[in-house]
Copies of this chain bind each other. A is one copy, B any other.
Amino acid sequence: MKIELNRQSDQSLINQISSIIAEKIRSGDLIGGSKLPSLRKFSLENQVSFMTVNKAYQLLEKNGYINLKHGKGAFVKRKETNKNMNSGTGNYDWQLNIPDYIQRSQYILNLKPVNSFNFTSAVINPKLLPTLYITKEINQILQNDPQIVSRYSSVQGDEEVRQVVADYLKHYCQLKPKSSEIIITNGVQQGIDIVARTFIGPGDIVITEAPTYTAALDVFRNRGATIISIPVDENGMKTDKLASLCLTKKPKLVYTIPTFQNPTGTVLSKRRREDLLELAKSNGFIIVEDDSWNEIYFDGTLPPPTIKSLDTDGHVIYLKGFSKTLAPGCKVGAIVSNGTIKKRLLTSKSCADLGSPLLTQKALVPFLNSNRMRTHLEKLRIALEIRRNRTISLLENHAPEKVTWLIPKGGLNIWITFPTDKNTEELLSKARYAEEISFLTSSACYPNEAPCNHIRISYSQIDDQMLDQGIIKLCKVMHEFLSDK
């Protein structure tokens, strides 16, 4: 049981260990009757003294979470556990004994971002979205066809909507899907989930970039996948490393965000896109291309063609979302795939929810269909490019010397690197409490052993007038953080 300890915290290690384990018991991560690691094992794994662990276990026993049985070890209490552990009037302790099939690494996303300076959420500030156009259009749609609220969508998604999405992908993403190759989803997250529940099971090998999108890791983990990661450099995923890996392992699926990669902002080069596709063909794996940000390129430089546009035999499952760039409140996403892969994904979508709501699908039709979409994307690129430029310039002027970053050529995020002996969890802790600043730490972005010395800041969500102040304050906290022993 490896846990995250904060050695700079005011809280003693004993209290930290005890409260982390208590939370695992309350949340059901550790179920009644299960045995905790031995004192020796726990102390080795977490590099704390035997005595510290011993005292933490004693504290847990005192608080009613575990029983220490002499010579046998420490055991999580069963039903008779302390009733104070539950809120509500009923006694729900029996529930702690129900095993489940979920992983909880997303806890880090569940930590609410702070209100003041939110650099955590990779979403676009509502003021940059065409809210009034879309609301007017919804009113018009409902006037013309009120029955939209009284009809179900087909499982695959409304035919008109799929046609409009196909046209959009043709105009903006160099793709030429037929509407029959599109499945409408509740955002990209459901797209990833549907792919995973269809094709991934215990022990299947999934490849991701390192670092990658946290919530995708959760989805693959929940399917019992063995996740192997391939490092990213300035040209995206190092496909030569993937080629070597394929000599000894048999990946079933490669999940990639080739364009303005999350969280690093890097772009997979055209050459590597071709290599990746060749590897897929020769090794028979599926590529999942998460293409959330393609349209948000800067400096007037179009990204390389999507991998899906190079795909001739159905190796690529392409995911697109319209939440971030258009209407988060509608949460419309799409999967493009072919052949039996499409048929099978459709069966899973049916099982998952029998189809997305018709109203939110239809809501986007007029805007996606109009020229305003083109103008909107142009505006969005300009606005976010300005934000990127300001953020980079502020970092150059205020960040400590030892801090480095990648300049993103599109998207919403900047990946910032600290000296390798530093743990950015501590930076986050300081930033939250001293200055009401939040961001994403690198510990959440790796499938296996995670370097802790990076952060991702999103410059897209915060209100315009707060950006400068937020970054300057953040740089101040960075200075304190680096000067700490």
List A residues at the B interface (Cβ < 8 Å). Answer: 26-28, 86, 88-92, 94-102, 104, 106, 109-110, 123, 126, 129, 131-132, 134-135, 138-139, 142-143, 146-153, 155, 178, 181, 185-187, 189-190, 193, 197-201, 215, 218-219, 222-223, 252, 281, 284, 286, 311-315, 323, 327-332, 338-341, 343-344, 347-348, 350-360, 363
Chain B neighbourhood of A355, CB < 8 A: 331
Given contacts A131-B149, A198-B100, contact A86 B339 (CB under 8 A): yes
Question: Are A339 and B92 in touch, CB under 8 angstroms?
Answer: yes
B126 contacts A252, C-beta separation under 8 Å: no
The complex places the Cα of A313 from the Cα of B132 at a distance, in Å, of 47
Would A354 and B215 be within 8 Å (CB), given that A146-B135, A359-B359 are in contact?
yes
**Contact in complex: B26, A340 (CB < 8 Å):** yes
Residue from the list B149, B187, B347, B350 in contact with A330, Cβ < 8 A: B149
Between-chain CB contacts (< 8 Å), 14 pairs? A27-B340, A28-B344, A90-B339, A91-B312, A95-B314, A98-B341, A110-B155, A135-B149, A149-B327, A150-B327, A190-B352, A218-B351, A222-B351, A331-B357
Residues A132 and B151 in contact in the complex (CB < 8 Å), given A314-B95, A360-B359: no
Residue of B nearest to A155 (CB): B110
Decide if B313 touches A90 in the complex (CB within 8 Å).
Answer: yes
Whole-angstrom distance between the alpha carbons of A319 and B109 in the complex? 27
Additional pairs, 16, CB under 8 Å, beyond known A106-B350, A147-B329, A149-B328: A26-B340, A28-B344, A90-B311, A95-B341, A98-B199, A98-B341, A99-B199, A102-B197, A102-B351, A126-B151, A134-B149, A148-B329, A149-B327, A150-B328, A185-B353, A327-B359
